[in-house]
């Protein structure tokens, strides 16, 4: 199999009332896996601009992008897919979670705020593995390559 270049993505860590915003990006309920909002970076556009666009599309929220908090890599050995996610601490500057909102790309099917306990006590499935620790701590963390799961 020919080597593929890694895909670059930007993701938002948004805490509101000490709860972390996560999205489910598996249309049709194919998976119960949750992740931070965000997505692939378009060439020629900054990480911040990409992240603001993705978060608005996926959640309806407007954000201010802060400092990076986590660099995470994951891959699928079966397909050669490899992605590098850069997570930024973000704050909401406009909008709200609205039950009538719909992702225009129809990828994100649900978005919710979760407590740290929801993540650390295994009440939900989420990726990356380090998310529960990093979201509530200061500093920058590197989380090396982990296998893609669905």
Q: What is the pLDDT along the chain (150 residues), one digit of tens a residue?
A: 556 789 999 999 999 999 999 998 776 667 889 999 999 999 999 999 999 999 999 999 999 999 999 999 988 888 888 999 999 999 999 998 887 888 887 788 889 999 999 999 999 999 999 999 999 998 888 878 777 776
Compute how many other C-beta atoms are within 10 angstroms of the C-beta atom of residue 107.
14
Q: What is the pTM of this model?
A: 0.90
Q: What are the C-alpha distances in Å from 135 to residues 6, 34, 35, 56, 111?
A: 24, 14, 12, 20, 17
10-147 placed in CATH 3.90.79.10: yes
């Amino acid at each position: 199999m020919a080597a593929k270049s890694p895909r670059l993505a930007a993701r938002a860590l948004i805490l509101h009332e000490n709860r972390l915003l996560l999205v489910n990006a598996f249309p049709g309920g194919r998976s119960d896996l949750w992740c931070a909002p965000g997505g692939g970076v378009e060439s020629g556009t900054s990480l911040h601009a990409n992240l603001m666009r993705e978060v608005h599309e996926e959640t309806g929220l407007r954000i201010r992008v802060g400092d990076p908090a986590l660099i995470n890599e994951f891959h699928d050995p079966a397909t050669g897919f490899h992605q590098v996610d850069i997570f930024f601490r973000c704050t909401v500057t406009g909008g709200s979670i609205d039950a009538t909102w719909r992702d225009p790309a129809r990828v994100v099917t649900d978005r919710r705020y979760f407590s740290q306990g929801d993540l650390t006590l295994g009440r939900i499935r989420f990726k990356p593995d380090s998310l529960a620790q990093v979201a509530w701590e200061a500093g920058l963390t590197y989380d090396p390559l982990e296998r893609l799961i669905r």
